């Protein structure tokens, strides 16, 4: 279904001159909109003793299986002072977390951020975490979005490239949006279905008008992975000004 929606978007956008302007999927229709997906960024660590991270990972995996339009990124954090033992942790994931939570006293894992800082659930109990995540997802699900994302991913000679097209729907111009690309690997084992492997350098969309489409290119050496066939890219648009750092749309490739 997700691949079908991407293909549908490409066909509609590049042939929209032949469409009725009342079509809600036509970016040049001022009343146009699309379904808005949910991005959950979950910050965890695999070290022995962090059982609350296990509860959070189990719950978010169950939620993702129920909700088709919900995407997950699982960032593993480092802490050299406390000798956290996590094979999947990288310093750049800490920096991502610190951007969201700059005050050290307010940090703590597990920490689940829904569409940026629009909703945040910190900590996890075995008895309550499924309910807490589900309630937030239900609140955010079904909202209308005003961006669509299409991309072509290619992996060749140990290089990964993504050609991304972003289209603006609705009737308002949007300014100062960050375009993010994050690679994750599905390790096909519980609690490791969405392991982040790389964060690309974000690109800024300074302004995008209704009905406009803009193209962007990302490329890098392939990160260390166990199975390149299970490597996926999440592309998402995020407000760079407001304190909520709201994610406006996300798509997987």
In order, the DSSP letters of 53-68 are HHHHHHHHHHHHHH-T
Q: Which residues of 195-206 are buried (b: 16+ CB within 10 A; e: fewer)?
A: bbbbbbeebebe
Pairing relationship of beta strands 144-145 and 203-208 according to DSSP bridges: unpaired
Question: Residue 5 — very low, low, confident or very high, per pLDDT cuts 50/70/90?
Answer: very low
Q: Which phi-psi region, left, alpha or beta, contains residue 85 (left: φ > 0; alpha: ψ -120 to 50)? A: beta
Closest to 89 in 3D by CA, of 202, 226, 196 = 196
Domain boundary assignment for the chain? 38-140
**pTM reported for the whole predicted model:** 0.88
What does the pLDDT look like over 109-140, one tens digit per residue? 999 999 999 999 999 999 999 999 999 999 99
pLDDT over 80 at 1, yes or no: no
What does the pLDDT look like over 185-209, one tens digit per residue? 999 999 999 999 999 999 999 999 9
Residue 49 pLDDT: 77
What's the maximum distance between 2 C-alpha atoms anywhere in the chain? 61
Percentage with pLDDT > 90 across the chain: 80
Residue 15 pLDDT: 46
pLDDT over 70 at 26, yes or no: no
Residue 35 pLDDT: 92
Residue 75 pLDDT: 98
30 vs 13: which has the higher pLDDT: 30
Residue 2 pLDDT: 45
Question: Residue 22 — very low, low, confident or very high, per pLDDT cuts 50/70/90?
Answer: low
CATH level 3 topology of 38-140: Glutaredoxin (3.40.30)
Q: Give the number of other CB atoms < 10 A from CB of residue 186.
A: 15
Residue 100 pLDDT: 97
Q: What mean pLDDT is reported for the chain?
A: 89
Question: Which residue is it, tokens 């629009």?
Answer: 118
């Amino acid at each position: 279904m997700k691949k079908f929606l991407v293909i549908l978007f490409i066909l509609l956008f590049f042939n929209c001159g032949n469409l009725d302007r009342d079509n809600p999927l036509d970016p040049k229709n001022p009343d146009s909109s699309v379904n808005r997906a949910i991005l959950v960024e979950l910050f965890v660590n695999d070290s022995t003793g962090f059982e609350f991270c296990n509860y959070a990972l189990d719950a978010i995996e169950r939620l993702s299986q129920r909700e088709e339009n919900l995407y997950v990124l699982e960032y593993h954090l480092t802490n050299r002072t406390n000798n956290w033992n996590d094979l999947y942790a990288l310093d750049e994931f800490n920096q991502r977390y610190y951007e969201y939570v700059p005050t050290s006293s307010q940090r703590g894992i597990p920490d689940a951020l829904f569409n940026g800082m629009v909703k945040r659930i910190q900590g996890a109990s075995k008895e309550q975490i499924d309910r807490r995540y589900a309630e937030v997802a239900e609140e955010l699900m079904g909202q209308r979005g005003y961006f669509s994302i299409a991309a072509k991913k290619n992996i060749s000679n140990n290089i990964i490239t993504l050609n991304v097209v972003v289209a603006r729907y609705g009737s308002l111009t949007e300014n100062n949006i960050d375009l993010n690309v994050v690679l994750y690997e599905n390790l096909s084992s519980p609690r490791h279905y969405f392991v982040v492997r790389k964060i690309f350098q974000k690109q800024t969309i300074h302004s995008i008008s209704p009905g406009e489409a803009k193209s962007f290119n990302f490329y890098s050496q392939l990160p260390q992975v166990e199975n390149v066939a299970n490597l996926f890219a999440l592309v998402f648009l995020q407000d760079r000004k407001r304190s909520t750092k709201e994610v406006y749309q996300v798509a997987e490739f």
